Structure 1
Amino acid sequence: MKTLKRDYARLAILADAKTVMRLLPAWFEDYNTIHPHSGLRMLSPREFLSRSA
């Protein structure tokens, strides 16, 4: 949750809760497919899983 706030929510202009709810799916998609994670050797979760399988 901390990373989502730091890397997505704090960088966006959030007028209200409806805006946040509209943006969340794209943030989750980016976080899981593109965003590098230090705990996963700088891979996204999906990259890490595909290379581990």
Structure 2
Amino acid sequence: MPPRIAPPDSSLDQSSPFFVHPSDGPSSVTVTPLLTGSNYHSWSRTMRRALG
């Protein structure tokens, strides 16, 4: 039986789309202005563009 190789940890690979920088967190602002009930349409469009 060949030796098992662990899959790479995507949280440590900076080129991975799943990489989270140590300074990123739930309170990080990705887009401005912040989401409110009245600006959902423009906020969601901006967020989709920011996420690629």
Q: Fold match, TM over 0.5?
A: no
Q: TM-score, normalised by structure 2?
A: 0.29
Larger radius of gyration: 2
Higher-helix-fraction structure: 1
Q: TM-score, normalised by structure 1?
A: 0.29
